[in-house]
Amino acid sequence: MPHLLNVWPSVSRQLAAASHVLLLFDYDGTLTPIVARPEMALLPQDTRRLLAELAGMDRFTVGVVSGREMADVAEKVGIPGLVYAGNHGLEMTGCGMDFVHPEAAAFEASVAEVSGLLREGLAGVPGVEVDNKRLTLSVHFRNAAESSADQVDRTVVTIAAPYVESGMMRITRGKKVVEVRPNLDWGKGKAIQKIRRDLGDGGDSPFTMFFGDDQTDEEGFAVVQEAGGLAVFIGRPREQTLALHQLESPTEVAQVLALLARLDRQ
């Protein structure tokens, strides 16, 4: 898996040849380092400045595709004019979009119900946080003892079982997080397809780059590469990712943003 900075000359030629480039990023672990608590994941000022600079250039459309609630990620990034996709793309705004998956709202009551049951069921496990994001929920256990990880996972599976078995919900996992989501054929991959399709109305679809670090980003990697774009995994090289390029950290993502900004001036 080539490091993106090591092959930048060839990548920059691809980008220079594209009339429109769509730059999409996960938030946690991609634009910001993974931290102990979700609310502590603050966007570095240099990264915010570069994202804003790129968003102001005609060649680029910039967006953030996150598992966070859309309002939360939009507030954390704080740049007007970006595309913001929250809850793994179940809700999106920007570039003329004001989208909520047509079936998602029907799950809000069930998500709230499962959240309440999980708070009760996990109350005795220190360091666990249940985050009701309205359309989905996340159980974070980064601050819990390593020995309790299996207990947390089993508890989520047990409590969510009636909803999963009925076909209403599904469980996904990421870095120190277990999520309960509506069982809809929708995720970051479908969200990216919609963004590309909406931007490409009346013309060619944009050349797309998607940067992500976790399991929920994999379907986005697949969609982007199938469309001839570039998927970039953030973290140590690993065989199980679908992404064909890699960066080590959010710091290196910021380095790429700086290179992209200079590309438009070449």
Residue 204 DSSP symbol: P
| Residue at which a domain ends, from 182, 203, 219 | 182
pLDDT recorded at residue 240: 84
pLDDT recorded at residue 125: 96
| pLDDT over threshold 90, residue 126 | yes
Q: Do 10 and 97 fall into the same domain? A: yes
pLDDT recorded at residue 230: 97
Higher pLDDT, 95 or 72: 72
pTM of the model: 0.94
pLDDT recorded at residue 259: 96
| pLDDT over threshold 80, residue 264 | no
pLDDT recorded at residue 43: 96
Q: Do 154 and 217 fall into the same domain? A: no
Return the active site residues: 26
List the CATH number of the domain containing 230: 3.40.50.1000
| pLDDT over threshold 60, residue 266 | no
Q: What is the dihedral of CA 158, 159, 163, 164, to 10 degrees?
A: -30
- Each residue of 191-249: pLDDT tens digit? 999 999 998 765 678 999 999 999 999 999 999 999 999 999 999 886 689 999 999 99
| Residue at which a domain ends, from 132, 160, 182 | 182
Arithmetic mean of pLDDT over the chain: 94
| pLDDT over threshold 80, residue 265 | no
pLDDT recorded at residue 88: 96
Kindly write down the DSSP assignment for every residue of the chain, as one continuous string: --BGGGGHHHHHHHHHH-S-EEEEE-SBTTTB---SSGGG-PPPHHHHHHHHHHHTSTTEEEEEE-SS-HHHHHHHH--TT-EEEEGGGTEEEETTEEEE-TTGGGGHHHHHHHHHHHHHHTTTSTT-EEEE-SSSEEEE-TTS-GGGHHHHHHHHHHHHHHHHHTTSEEEEEETTEEEEEE--S-SHHHHHHHHHHHHTTTSPPPEEEEEE-SGGGHHHHHHHHHTT-EEEEESS--TT---SEEESSHHHHHHHHHHHHHHTT-
User: Region 117-138: what's the mean pLDDT?
Assistant: 96
| pLDDT over threshold 80, residue 141 | yes
Residues 21/63, Cβ–Cβ less than 8 Å = no
- Please provide the distance, in angstroms rounded to a whole number, between the alpha carbons at the two ends of the chain: 28
Domain enclosing residue 138, as ranges? 104-182
User: Region 82-107: what's the mean pLDDT?
Assistant: 95
Q: Do 95 and 174 fall into the same domain? A: no
| Residue at which a domain ends, from 164, 182, 200 | 182
pLDDT recorded at residue 202: 56
Q: From 236, 239, 240, select the one nearest 248 (Cα to Cα).
A: 236
pLDDT recorded at residue 201: 64
pLDDT recorded at residue 37: 82
User: Region 43-52: what's the mean pLDDT?
Assistant: 97
Residues 185/167, Cβ–Cβ less than 8 Å = no
List the CATH number of the domain containing 136: 3.30.70.1020
User: Region 134-157: what's the mean pLDDT?
Assistant: 96
Domain count across the chain: 2
| pLDDT over threshold 80, residue 9 | yes
Q: Do 96 and 108 fall into the same domain? A: no
